Structure 1
């Protein structure tokens, strides 16, 4: 490989090899082209081997899952949860996590989702036990069509190997194993910040649970690599039945394009940021509560953009500012991005104020209010400890719905309105899988549906086919057709069965 070498992709586009890539490339390495951007992705031979061996193990395990009883899968979830509750095992995990957190902080990385806590531990255990108690779906008859002399059944069946790449959140680690409930197997790569924690969970809790329940080796496999290239290699492997990516928007989009190029279906969970629209019939107390409770921490369903109708702006902008201030007291300050039409409603003292904003690298002094252009309405503010939101004044809820459809990732939106007809109109107008009438943080598989989620899909790349926006373990399946024939003379041309020689 030489600097400047042309790499043709997509039939009519060309990418060129950089001097750095040419110098790093070795015999046995692999090169991928991200089809959406033309970025050349270097996969060293070692990373490719790690990924391909992990997928091969999961495929072999899937081949044996048909021999595994639903009771054994139930026993796995029970044992995994019990292992996490065991104090000695958890101490190993917590120690590994403390090292991960210290390393991330030293590198100026975010730790808000990385650090394990008692609440996170309880949620992991609760999620695993939810799958333990869930009804087994393998073999469930979805539909039966009767014909004279025969019948057809539509039967739920496992899909195969699920490849899962997610950010450094240890609790998601337990969510990923939910696909085993339906008889699938899983290969996952966690963000490099949490790799030490993941290794400890595998050693102390996951692998012992698999062995105790008698599930095949390789039923749940961790890609033991900190390199992004290992994730690229996994998503490029045609052995996957489904590729699931969860994390930052650009990284998720890139992984999705790699999987699609390999012919693998994808489920992407990247860009988030919830919207709240406040119409002319809104109750001020309801609005205050909804805004405040939507800003408790930064995750994908946190309030990101608030639109208030102009006819109530004089009354309701102060309500929003009060909720934001109280949310900031709960955390550490606040940051506001304001559209031009909203600026007159912001007190001059606030417009000119500066204060400490907690970023990943630590507190920094910034203006508390900054201008916002319309094309920034969909930008997701990734904050650490300081709630950060956008405020925009709209003509009507219909106007806000149009802005949501045009600029947002089309994910989560709430309408604060007292008029039932306004809610009906808004539900039909917004192109979103998750629509509410209060706080936005309800959008969570475990919280709302009692199902630990693999991810929450937005509609940024179009509506989803034949499933909801919450991807959970029991949502990963295929449908097989099975025929029961009682009439031996069935013949499409009507011919009788001849005498047997």
Structure 2
């Protein structure tokens, strides 16, 4: 059997699996990650060594790197998913029509989900957990740079699935040694129900443009922090540093800073020093305004008004996450109404735009499109719906 046939067979079993079965498997998967931590870290060290020798930027190496703490976080993510409600079978809407027909729209799994992602081995565990809980089989096509790490993780997850009586083929790793496997996955319409790309702009664009399988587009993150004229400047500095420095290599890190001219003289000296102390390079050239740096760089522009800030974000933003720091209720309302993004934050770091932080257990990605799902995608976003219509001999006149 091909990987697609195995995945389809596994998806049929998972579609009717009880929540207790899925949760038991998730807990076993979490324990398997922890008990296999030494083997996973050893495999990851080999990937990291190759990446560094080939001159891979440290921001990318950071995404690739696994530590005991990060594996513990992956395991906890699986346990958190086990504690969440099962979306499968949830009644989205329903009722009884005037003619007596009972109509229910219920959540159902997609079936087979393909994930194409870059050097983020933690995605392997997150994706496996979310797809399992939502009743889907998953085909994981990570990057070749994380091949050893992903193989070790998937081996642990599959052993846990088999031990709990669910099909191990619910989680399969697609060969990453050749680009042909990506092309095949993108053309597997009818065998794969949906593809979700996670990575840089080039990867996402390629999948969106070349796939014949339906795609849920996750987007790059040119995220802005706008410091309004009424902002608490101490708060603004704390938020800016957290959003830029805490983990600069991820899509919800701040990449652009906008400062109202009325507070620029007071705010910028302290902000520039704090950024410099943390190794951040500040860019003020227009060609940098649309850049997702994914490193210790940020663009800066002083704006004359809230509306100028909104116009700047509309021009250069990627529709991911945008934040305003303000003490004005009116300014906050104007900003949240006018900004067209998957997430808009008021007086909070863009780093909160994350499935785990928002209580989803983990996320399959952050969608910046407007169809099906938008923002951090948790369990409900990994389902479709179907209508169940029950009658008593009803016929249409």
Give TM-score scaled by structure 2 length: 0.93
Equivalent of 2:182 in 231, 251, 255: 231
Q: State the match for 2:395 in structure 1.
A: 491
Q: Tell me how far 1:172 sits from its aligned partner.
A: 0.8
1:307-360 CA distance string (max 9 Å, x none): 11122211121132133134x1xxxx221101xxxxxxxxxxxxxxxxxxxxxx
Contact 1:309 1:396 in 2 (8 A): yes
* 447-456 vs 64-73, greater mean Cα deviation: 64-73
Contact 1:66 1:183 in 2 (8 A): yes
Rounded to whole Å, the distance in 2 between the matches of 1:323 and 1:397 is 24
Q: State the match for 1:100 in structure 2.
A: 47
Matched residue count: 388
Contact 2:223 2:256 in 1 (8 A): yes
Matched, 1:482 2:388: yes
Rounded to whole Å, the distance in 2 between the matches of 1:181 and 1:155 is 16
Max Rg structure: 1
Secondary structure in 2 aligned to 1:79? helix
* 418-427 vs 53-62, greater mean Cα deviation: 53-62
Contact 2:124 2:154 in 1 (8 A): no
Rounded to whole Å, the distance in 2 between the matches of 1:112 and 1:492 is 62
* 143-152 vs 192-201, greater mean Cα deviation: 143-152
Q: Tell me how far 1:241 sits from its aligned partner.
A: 1.0
Q: State the match for 1:77 in structure 2.
A: 26
Matched, 1:453 2:357: no
Q: State the match for 1:417 in structure 2.
A: 326
Q: State the match for 1:126 in structure 2.
A: 76
Secondary structure in 1 aligned to 2:64? coil
Q: Tell me how far 1:258 sits from its aligned partner.
A: 1.7
Equivalent of 1:472 in 378, 381, 386: 378
Contact 2:143 2:176 in 1 (8 A): no
Equivalent of 1:301 in 213, 234, 252: 252
1:57-108 CA distance string (max 9 Å, x none): 212222333453322211110110011122xx21111111111111111111
1:416-442 CA distance string (max 9 Å, x none): 111011000011111111111222211
Secondary structure in 2 aligned to 1:320? helix
Rounded to whole Å, the distance in 2 between the matches of 1:143 and 1:439 is 35
Secondary structure in 2 aligned to 1:201? helix
Matched, 1:61 2:10: yes
Q: Tell me how far 1:306 sits from its aligned partner.
A: 0.3
1:278-329 CA distance string (max 9 Å, x none): 1111111111111111121221111110011122211121132133134x1x
1:398-452 CA distance string (max 9 Å, x none): 1111111111212111101110110000111111111112222111110122420
Q: State the match for 1:193 in structure 2.
A: 145
Rounded to whole Å, the distance in 1 between the matches of 2:93 and 2:253 is 39
Listed as ranges, the matches of 1:51-450 within 5 Å are 53-86=2-35, 89-109=36-56, 110-147=60-97, 148-177=99-128, 178-203=130-155, 205-238=156-189, 239-259=191-211, 262=212, 264-294=213-243, 295-298=245-248, 299-326=250-277, 328=278, 333-338=279-284, 372-373=285-286, 375-383=287-295, 387-436=296-345, 437-450=347-360
Contact 2:15 2:109 in 1 (8 A): no
Higher strand fraction: Structure 1 or Structure 2? 1
Q: State the match for 1:48 in structure 2.
A: none
Rounded to whole Å, the distance in 2 between the matches of 1:103 and 1:300 is 24
Give TM-score scaled by structure 1 length: 0.75
Rounded to whole Å, the distance in 2 between the matches of 1:232 and 1:323 is 45
**Which consecutive unaligned segments of at least 5 residues does structure 2 have?**
none
Larger RCO, structure (CA 8 Å, separation 6 or more)? 2
Q: 1:449 to 1:67 in 2, by over 3 A?
A: closer
* 412-421 vs 59-68, greater mean Cα deviation: 59-68
Contact 2:102 2:390 in 1 (8 A): yes
Secondary structure in 1 aligned to 2:108? strand
Contact 1:274 1:412 in 2 (8 A): yes
Secondary structure in 2 aligned to 1:449? coil
Rounded to whole Å, the distance in 1 between the matches of 2:41 and 2:288 is 39
Contact 1:274 1:303 in 2 (8 A): yes
Contact 1:278 1:309 in 2 (8 A): yes
Contact 2:197 2:218 in 1 (8 A): yes
Q: Tell me how far 1:466 sits from its aligned partner.
A: 4.2
Rounded to whole Å, the distance in 1 between the matches of 2:147 and 2:252 is 25
CA RMSD of aligned residues (A): 1.7
